[in-house]
Every structure is written in structure tokens, then in C-alpha cells.
Structure 1
Amino acid sequence: MTQDTPKAEGIVLFVDIDNTLYSKDKGVDALMGERINNYFQTKLGLDKEHATELHHRYYKEYGIALDGLLRHHNIDIDEYNRLVDDSLPLDKILKRDEPLRQMFQRLDRTKVSKLWLFTNAYKTHGERVAKLVGVDDLIDGLTYCDYYHTPLHCKPKPEAFEKAMKQAGVTDKSKCWFVDDSALNIKASKKFGWAENAYLHYPGAPEIPAGTPGVVEISHIEDLPKVWPDLFLPEPVKNTNGTINGTTNGTTNGTTNGIINGTNGGINGDGTNGSTNGGNPPS
């Protein structure tokens, strides 16, 4: 736990970013995959078939294709990030998601100490997505894959979960709850000992047997209050004039959460409180 990361006394809700904060049908993962394949072709001199094959082999072996590139090839990380992650036209694809925002505002902060993003992407991608979908001011922190620190600590490696706990200021695994669209990451979380896991299961994705202890299945992130009702406050009742009871400055229950790129919490470059500097598209 870093000095400026307050200890989490209650539950820390760790949430994946890509294909989780927004739906997979947005096509971001496909665009990311195309850019990674193009990078393999242009920088490694491979044809399309062999580039795709190596991309997926590295992804399966290391959890993120970049890890394989760093291990086996001499690449420029700045160039990779510029040509892949930062080149995605997210501002044309993603928009403010009011239902998502309202759901996060309903978290019972007497039970949930922190809402923490946990991604295999780099910090710049993570903060772009959070801002575009309109939840950046509700997030208490971000754990991202630091492309400049090798070996890479990314999901599903145990080191990634250890890093997330340290940055979020939580030492008790029973207080770690996790949402992700990757069956591999959910299984890794369960094996690591995190208490509760919500698998955002898309059609055609790998199955996790129904009834697996500590794992629930959802089809959309907004299903969380249905499967974990104890973490959320009741939906606010709208008055006849359309306003909502029990809100202050747009937040439910009169609470104001951390702010990315601001004060009162938010995300530092190291994933802790302050301003942000930083699933799971094909990585």
C-alpha cells in the first residue's frame, strides 16, 4: 500500500474496462485486434496469417500480446502505444452512459470503500474510456498494465491481482469483488482468492459452470444490482417534476466520490488517489 492510498476498510469493487464498462458490440476489441495485427505485420515483417497466429499465441501464453513482443522482439514501446492503443477512435465510438453512471452512484459506500478500475490496457487508454463513458469522477483508482515495467504484470497473472490490491489499499482478499468479461481472468481471480466474481458472459465466449462458488454470470454490467443487491442502494424515486430524491450535486446518497484528473481521490499515474495517468480487447 502506497503512502497516499488510504486503507480500504470495506469492499473494493474491481471492474475491468474494455468490453465491461461498454458493450462488446461497440467493436473496440476488433479495432484493437486489427491494429495489433498490423503492428505485427509492419514491424516484424509477417504476412497477415502469420501475424494473426503469433498475436494470438502471445495473448494465450502471456495474457497480453505486448508481453510476447517485449520478450522476443526489440520494439519501441512509445511507438507501439501510439500505433495501437492511442490510435483507437474512441471519441467516435463511446459516449456518456447515464445508466452506468447512475448504477455506480447507487453503490452503498458504507459497504463499498472503493470503486477501482483494473485493466490490461495502458493508463492513457483506461482514462480515455472512463472519461468518455462519463464515470471518471466516480472512480477511486486505476490499476493498469505498465508497458514500461518489465516483466509485465497483467491479468491473469497473480502478480496483477497482488498489484491491484496493493494500489487499492486492501489486504483482505475476502473484501475483493471483481467484474470482468474474460473467463480466464475470472478463474484466475477465484484461484487467487478474491471473494466474489461477476463474469460478464458474451454469447460464444467460454463457459464457467453454473453454480461455481463465488462466481455469478451477468449479460450486462448494469445487471450487477440484480446479482449483488447488498452492494447497492435502492433506485431513487423520481418526483413528478423529474428530479430524484436523495441526491446531492448529481450523486446518490449525497456522496461525492474520487475524481480522475482532479482532487478528492481519483487516479494517479501509479493507480492511486489523485489525477489519472491511464479487459480486455485482444491485447
Structure 2
Amino acid sequence: MAHELHGKATWIFDLDNTLYPAACDLFAQIDVKMGAYISRLLSVDLIEARRVQKDYFMQYGTTLAGLMRHHDIDPHDYLDYVHDIDVSVVMPDERMAKALAVLPGRKIVYTNGSAGHAARVMERLGITHLFEGTFDVLASDFIPKPDPGAFTALIEAYAIDPDDAVMVEDLAKNLIPAHDLGITTVWVPTASEWSRAGADGGFIDYVADDLSAWLAEVAGLAD
């Protein structure tokens, strides 16, 4: 049962489509910005830009990683551009805040995006004060999830004991390295094909269709 996780020492949360519901469609704004960036960079139409975008995402874990490898872009310029979006569609989540406050252990955000983007989203959710820190793609030297090297960097940066840690993530494949290290894995499925890719691999310990409700259950706050 999920309540067995109540005493874990470290909780690691992905950001986008995990800490806030995918229904916010916040990533759709980022998706549009990525397409526009690639279209301008490569002087191609938006259809070709989207093909490149998704090809790099599938090959390298993030579109940014592919752009850095093949086009030597400035990653800071890219991240500033694609994260210049309207986060007001993310609503405060009081139930999640209460659950996180009750759960013992450290809470860390681990994102393939930027810490600045994470800060804006967490402020909207009302949970900033409940987290020890954010490990973003800059902190991992631009090595994205699910590269095992990025997970090693996270563990070293925060002195995490994998056997006493939980990782929560919407992209199933990003949980594979966590599982291999001994971290308890929690998948937050969405309707996206990217979310479900590889989900049948036997590396998912828990499924949380509604993360706020699931955390409330773990914290002993469920109705």
C-alpha cells in the first residue's frame, strides 16, 4: 500500500505534467515555443520543425540535447525562450501542499527544464517552501533524464540514499534508471503517448492517476 512510503527519507518529483495536472496543458505552450525556435534556427517550416523536435526528443531525452549536439546552440538562450510562457493556467493545489507538509523527508524537484521555470510553477502551486531544492538540466551539465549519468549527478549533489528514496514522474521511461538504482518509482500517467512509452517494463512500483490524492493517502490525509 502507498502509505508504506510515509517514512522515506527523500522524495524526488518531476515537474511538468507531474506536480501539476497534465490537463493544465502548460507543456503545449512550451511545445509551440520549441517549434518556433527550431523553425527560426533551421529556416524550416513548422511541420519540419516539429519532426526535428520530436526526433531529437526520442533520440536524446530532450529536444535541447539534440539541438546542442547537432547545432551547437546556446542552451541558456533556448531555455529562456521556451519557458517564457503563461503559467497562470496552473492553479494552487492546497491538498498537495498539505500532504507534502505532513510527509517526512526531503522533497526535491528533478526536471529536464530550468530551475527558473520550476520556481514559477511551484509558486503557482503554493509549494515552493516545502522543497529543499531543484536539480535542473543545468545542474546535470545538460545531460537529461533518462541518462543514468544524470541520476548519478543528482544522487551525489543531494547525498541521496537510493534505497530510502521515492521518485515521481509522468514519463515512464524516465523511471528506469531510478528503479535500477533501487529508488521506489511512482508513475503519474497522462494521455500522452510519450508518458506511456515503456510503461510495461516492470520498473514501476506505484501508479498515481491523481498525484494530489495519492500523496494525501500516503500522508494519511485521505478522506
- TM-score relative to the length of structure 1: 0.69
Counterpart residue number, 1:98: 94
The number of residue pairs the alignment matches comes to 214
3-state SS, counterpart of residue 126 of structure 2: coil
Q: Following superposition of structure 1 onto structure 2, how do residues 1-283 of structure 1 map, counting pairs within 5 Å?
A: 11-85=9-83, 87-90=84-87, 92-107=88-103, 109=104, 112=105, 114-146=106-138, 150=141, 152-170=142-160, 172-191=161-180, 193-203=181-191, 205=193, 206=196, 208-209=199-200, 212=202, 215-225=205-215, 229=218, 232=219, 234-235=220-221
The letter for the 2-side match of 1:144 is D
Q: Distance in 1 between matches of 2:22 and 2:40?
A: 27
The letter for the 2-side match of 1:145 is V
The letter for the 1-side match of 2:208 is I
CA pair 10-196 structure 1, distance change in 2 beyond 3 A: closer
3-state SS, counterpart of residue 14 of structure 1: strand
CA offsets per residue over residues 177-226 of structure 1, 9 Å max, x none? 100000110223213x233111001235426239x365111111124347
CA offsets per residue over residues 107-146 of structure 1, 9 Å max, x none? 0x2xx2x111111101111111111111000101111100
Structure 2: give runs of 5+ residues left out of the alignment: 1-6
CA pair 226-196 structure 1, distance change in 2 beyond 3 A: farther
CA pair 42-117 structure 1, distance change in 2 beyond 3 A: same
Following superposition, the deviation at residue 164 of structure 1 comes to: 1.4
Q: Is the 8 A contact 2:62 2:144 kept in 1?
A: yes
Q: Distance in 2 between matches of 1:145 and 1:50?
A: 26
CA pair 198-45 structure 1, distance change in 2 beyond 3 A: same
What's the Cα RMSD here?
Answer: 2.4
The letter for the 2-side match of 1:63 is G
Q: Distance in 2 between matches of 1:95 and 1:213?
A: 31
The letter for the 2-side match of 1:167 is A
Q: Is the 8 A contact 1:141 1:168 kept in 2?
A: no
- TM-score relative to the length of structure 2: 0.87
The letter for the 2-side match of 1:93 is V
* Structure with higher helix content: 2
Structure 1: give runs of 5+ residues left out of the alignment: 1-8, 238-283
CA offsets per residue over residues 48-79 of structure 1, 9 Å max, x none? 22111110111111111111111111323343
CA pair 10-180 structure 1, distance change in 2 beyond 3 A: closer
CA offsets per residue over residues 129-181 of structure 1, 9 Å max, x none? 1111110001011111008x75x2211011111121122222x3211210000
- Structure of larger gyration radius: 1
Q: Which moved further from structure 2: 156-165 or 69-78? A: 69-78
